[in-house]
Amino acid sequence: MTENTATDVQAVFEKQLAAVTAGDLESIIAHYTADAVLVRADRSFVGADGIREAFSGYLALRPRLVEMVEYAEHGDTICYRAVMEVAGERKETVGTMVMKDGGIWRQTASFRPEPTVDATPLEIYRAWNDCLLAGDIAGATRLIDADRWTEKCLGLTGWLTDFQVALTHYARNMVEPWENLEMSEEEVVEGRDAVTIRFRVEATHIGEFMGVPATGRRVSFDAIRIVHVRDGKVTGQWAQLDLWGLHRQLTDGRPTAL
């Protein structure tokens, strides 16, 4: 068996993504070994004929990569999490690939299901937050109860009862001023109909925030969210960012108006 290098593994993966985006079925099949197996949650597909069957249906849905959320490789194995646009809707997909002789030998792939009404508040919150971080507004909207919505981000907004208005504030405060935003949970307290999350945020400042023009600085700050959930839907949140600490990082050493 030919040994795969890290470069070979990544190159095959990138070629496969390009072929899927282009809808090039023959190139997709060529990236698999003769004895390849693709395993999905519903069934498995074996060999070239199986791969052709699996992708013929998938390509009909016009899949397109929106964002590669996570990617890791070790030796001949890749694990990934991505947001794909499938049939006009954004879906989170997770999968693995094992390479052999320069091709894909084993693969698993599945879409992350949306939480059911029986899911815990934490599961529903995480699914909703993943949609927001991936820019999947349609997915985030499906996971909220618009009729019950109440939201406040202390220091940035008053109480909001319209989710679409809340989204404009979210874009203005948490999307447009930043790039390479990373969020990590530090502490979680879950109740029957709410979840409280203390988390750490790191981001690069590329647009105006709190009256401070883009600095290009990499900053980090703490924040707390209390997210309410009822009947399997997010009904609102109360949030507080360390705005003073964040403002100091953005303005330290910069001239200020008198």
Per-residue pLDDT at 162: 96
Per-residue pLDDT at 258: 34
Contact criterion met (CB below 8 Å) for 236 and 193:
no
Domains, the chain, with CATH or none: 6-111 (3.10.450.50), 121-251 (3.10.450.50)
Split the chain (258 residues) into runs of 10 and give each run's mean pLDDT.
66 94 95 95 92 91 88 93 83 92 94 80 90 80 94 96 95 92 92 96 95 95 97 96 95 62
Per-residue pLDDT at 256: 46
Contact criterion met (CB below 8 Å) for 133 and 183:
yes
Alpha helices in the chain, H assignment, sequence order: 6-22, 25-30, 47-59, 121-133, 137-142, 163-170, 243-251
Per-residue pLDDT at 134: 74
Cα radius of gyration rounded to whole Å, the chain: 22
Sheet with 64-74, edge to edge strand ranges:
44-46, 32-40, 103-111, 89-100, 77-86, 64-74
Burial of 91 per CB tally in 10 Å (0-12, 13-18, 19+): buried
Write down the pTM of the prediction. 0.64
Per-residue pLDDT at 217: 96
d(CA 16, CA 103): 10
Residue 133 has a CB neighbour count (10 Å cut-off) of 17
d(CA 204, CA 181): 7
Burial of 61 per CB tally in 10 Å (0-12, 13-18, 19+): middle
102-126, pLDDT tens digit by residue?
999 999 999 877 777 788 999 999 9
